[in-house]
Amino acid sequence: MLRSAVRDAAPAGGRRRWREGTGKRAGMTGRITVVEGDITEQDVDAIVNAANPSLLGGGGVDGAIHRAAGPELLAECRTLGGAATGEAKVTRGYRLRARYVIHTPGPVWRGGRAGEPELLARSYASCFARAREIGARSVALPAISTGAYRFPIEAATVIAVREARRALDAGGLEEVRFVCFTRRDADVYRRVLAAAPG
Ligand code: APR
């Protein structure tokens, strides 16, 4: 069943939100949305951080989340002992609107023959598993690995959408929100959502 990505009426603040049409697969209760914006501003139960294996902060979305959450986030991250690529660990959200942050190091793109697609899929699957464990009903995710780690956005988005659908099928989640920092990336997500059948 071809899904249609439909645009909701522009909500307050003019942020464009796209929600998959009602043509969901039977049994899939939640929805996937795409927004253009800053993940630190999202009012969801958990936000995902595209971290590095130290889990001790960095640039990009990692830096933005640590800045917005405040120093207590780093203090808790110090207790985690890092994470392997594809793993995901949970902390509180502190000054963020989200109650939790799910930190995952995605893979660095090395040309595509070093298991990067499988590792990126594992990062997404691990994040959704942690979300289920903490009882999160809504989770916002950036485009993991597509910045400093140079994973091609199109291929990464196909993986992200596939893992999101699997997580929604497993139940427990009401919303998976992909938060894109640029319109270009948001358009890729919308295209993949609209095109990928089933
Ligand atoms: N909100 C949403 N998305 C954001 C934000 C933000 N505030 N800031 C950046 N992004 C987007 C980027 O545009 C990109 O699409 O997040 C995506 C991931 O880019 P990076 O943050 O560079 O993450 P990644 O490619 O996974 O590289 C991780 O970079 O910041 C360091 O510590 C991090 O070493 C790790 C590496």
Tell me if residue 62 is catalytic.
Answer: yes
pLDDT band at 30 (very low <50, low <70, confident <90, very high): confident
Specify the pLDDT at position 4.
Answer: 37
Lowest mean pLDDT among 1-15, 17-31, 98-112, 173-187: 1-15
CA of 39 to the centre of ligand 1 (A): 10
CA of 26 to the centre of ligand 1 (A): 34
CA of 113 to the centre of ligand 1 (A): 22
Contact 45, 98 (CB under 8 A): yes
Contact 191, 153 (CB under 8 A): no
Mean pLDDT, the chain, integer: 89
* HSE-up of residue 96 (Cα within 13 Å, Cβ side): 30
Q: pLDDT, tens digit, for every residue of 35-80?
A: 999 999 999 999 999 999 999 999 999 999 999 999 999 999 999 9
**Is the pLDDT assigned to residue 184 strictly greater than 70?**
yes
Residue nearest to atom 13 of ligand 1 (CA): 181
Which of 42, 43, 49, 61 has the most ligand 1 atoms within 8 A of CB, as the residue to mutate?
Answer: 61
More reliable by pLDDT, 140 or 21: 140
- Atom from ligand 1 closest to the CA of residue 39: 1
Which of 28, 44, 10, 60 lies closest to 161 in space, CA to CA?
A: 28
Q: Which residue has the tokens 């095109």?
A: 195
**Is the pLDDT assigned to residue 8 strictly greater than 80?**
no
More reliable by pLDDT, 89 or 28: 89
